Amino acid sequence: MRKTVIISLDAMYEKDMEAVKEDSFLGRWMKEAAVCTKVKTVFPALTYPAHTTLVTGCDPDQHGVGQNQPFQPDKQPDMRAWYWQASEVHRESLFDAVKKQGGRCASILWPVTGKHPSLKWGFPEVVALPGENQVLKMLEYGTPLWVLLMELKHGRKRVSSKEPHLSDYAVVLAEDLIRIRQPELLAVHLVDLDDMRHHHGLNSREAYEAMERNQRRVEKIWQAMQDTPGMEDALLVVLSDHGQADVSRTVHLGDVLKAAGLEGCVQVQSNGMSAYLFGADPEKAAQAESWLRENGASCGVSHVYSRGELDKLGCIPEPAFAVEAAPEVVFSDGLPQAKREKATHGFGPGHPAENCLLMIRGRGISPARMDSMPMRDVAPTLAGLMGVSLPDAQGVDHSAEIVE
């Protein structure tokens, strides 16, 4: 089995390659890597569905993670749980495939890997809800002894648990694992850029600074791999989950439908630049759908996805239909942060920010430039390169195209 380190640079996408200069670290590093800059993200373009597709090779309708959060209309926004637990993923992932073949896996802030039975080292992406304790939650969802050991060894280096400090700490943990444990699979999720874009805008100074920081983080991890016997031949995979777009107008779809006399026909779950509409009564849901088809343009809706369209997109089966936001529009279902966001994602196919990155470097990998591929192709391709089996994957294995 070939050792592999995966780094996800959340919210980096094809257009950012213009800013990755020839003389920058990533610019130089990727010249020797197999690269695809058109990995088409999932629908909706959200972090948790995309990251689950990246490791299972399945679309959301198969792996079951169709949003960052389960639909919880009865709970206040700040009381809503996210998809934190591995048991919520319905298909085998690369972590399971590696463990089955005797490998040891580590996840640092990789979404939906809490309490993962295939992880030897897990530092989970979980957030304490009001009344909960963040440290206890990390211990409960992660690998408690290892998380504690890391806290004692490196905890003082963490300036805060917010960005950019959390991503810096993730890299400290990754370097420690590479240098001391040499895991067969290490997956690291860095949220810095996504966070800066949400708060400051797509092309803000803060976003470019985050991109610079991410390049230095990749360099540190690559350097740790080169320095460590047993890791120098490992693959380093740098990839992403979605881009973003600037937004300036918030539309409360629930209020719009209420004003149209359609209250109670459907319930809204915002995906940012799209929204799911759930309806227990098919007739009432169809009423809301046809009203939005006729009047949506006046309330920030650019497209209505029928259930048939959603099936073709690999969308989870629960929503009756879905809507896409017009440019600059973000949908709200009451989440307070929607009002503060300067940029976001959650859009559907064809959006300019749908093209994600995949760069793979290591001995024997050719510096090929790969054609566009759906995100579900990433996991089987990595499984092919690593020499592990991922039978559940729906995607295509492209590993033969990039092996020298």
In angstroms, give the least distance from the CB of 14 to Zn ion: 15
In angstroms, give the least distance from the CB of 353 to Zn ion: 11
Residue range at the interface with Zn ion (CB under 5 A); choices 10-18, 64-72, 77-85, 333-341: 10-18
153/359 Cα distance (integer angstroms)? 32
Q: Which is nearer to Zn ion, 12 or 316 (CB)?
A: 12
Closest CA to 238 of 105, 368, 362, 94: 362
Q: Which is nearer to Zn ion, 265 or 343 (CB)?
A: 343
At 269, the amino acid letter reads Q
Residue range at the interface with Zn ion (CB under 5 A); choices 8-16, 63-71, 86-94, 280-288: 8-16
At 194, the amino acid letter reads D
- 67 belongs to the binding site for Zn ion (CB under 5 A): no
In angstroms, give the least distance from the CB of 93 to Zn ion: 18
Q: Which is nearer to Zn ion, 11 or 231 (CB)?
A: 11
3-state secondary structure of 335: coil
3-state secondary structure of 284: helix
In angstroms, give the least distance from the CB of 146 to Zn ion: 25
Residue range at the interface with Zn ion (CB under 5 A); choices 9-17, 61-69, 147-155, 290-298: 9-17
20/4 Cα distance (integer angstroms)? 24
Cβ within 8 Å of residue 81, ≥6 positions away:
69, 70, 72, 129
**Tokens 């592990």 label which residue?**
388
In angstroms, give the least distance from the CB of 283 to Zn ion: 36
Q: Which is nearer to Zn ion, 56 or 267 (CB)?
A: 56
107/142 Cα distance (integer angstroms)? 9
- 341 belongs to the binding site for Zn ion (CB under 5 A): no
In angstroms, give the least distance from the CB of 10 to Zn ion: 4
Provide the CA 200 distance to its chain's centre, in angstroms: 20
Number of residues lying near Zn ion (CB under 5 A): 4
285/57 Cα distance (integer angstroms)? 32
Residues 46-65 binding Zn ion (CB under 5 A) are 47
Q: Which is nearer to Zn ion, 47 or 332 (CB)?
A: 47
Among 14, 241, 333, 354, binds Zn ion (CB under 5 A): 241
In angstroms, give the least distance from the CB of 48 to Zn ion: 8
Q: Which is nearer to Zn ion, 289 or 354 (CB)?
A: 354
- 10 belongs to the binding site for Zn ion (CB under 5 A): yes
Burial of 350 (0-12, 13-18, 19+ CB in 10 A): exposed
User: Hey, which residues does 277 pair with through a beta bridge?
Assistant: 268, 321
List Cα–Cα distances, 401 to 174, 186, 187, 371, in angstroms.
29, 24, 23, 10
Reading across the β-sheet that carries 245-252, which strands appear in turn? Answer: 328-332, 245-252, 343-344
Q: Which is nearer to Zn ion, 47 or 344 (CB)?
A: 47
Q: Which is nearer to Zn ion, 206 or 241 (CB)?
A: 241
Copy the structure tokens of residue 112.
């939906």
Residue range at the interface with Zn ion (CB under 5 A); choices 152-160, 237-245, 328-336, 354-362: 237-245
What secondary structure does DSSP assign to 150-218, as a single string?
HHHHHGGG---SSTTHHHHHHHHHHHHIIIII--SEEEEEE-HHHHHHHHH-TT-HHHHHHHHHHHHHH
Residue range at the interface with Zn ion (CB under 5 A); choices 29-37, 236-244, 265-273, 310-318: 236-244
Provide the total of helices (H) and of strands (E) in the chain, helices listed first.
14, 15
Residues 13-52 binding Zn ion (CB under 5 A) are 47
Q: Which is nearer to Zn ion, 224 or 378 (CB)?
A: 378
Residue range at the interface with Zn ion (CB under 5 A); choices 6-14, 74-82, 141-149, 326-334: 6-14
Q: Which is nearer to Zn ion, 56 or 143 (CB)?
A: 56
**Per-residue mark of binding to Zn ion, 194-213 (x: CB under 5 A):** x-------------------
Binding site for Zn ion (CB under 5 A): 10, 47, 194, 241
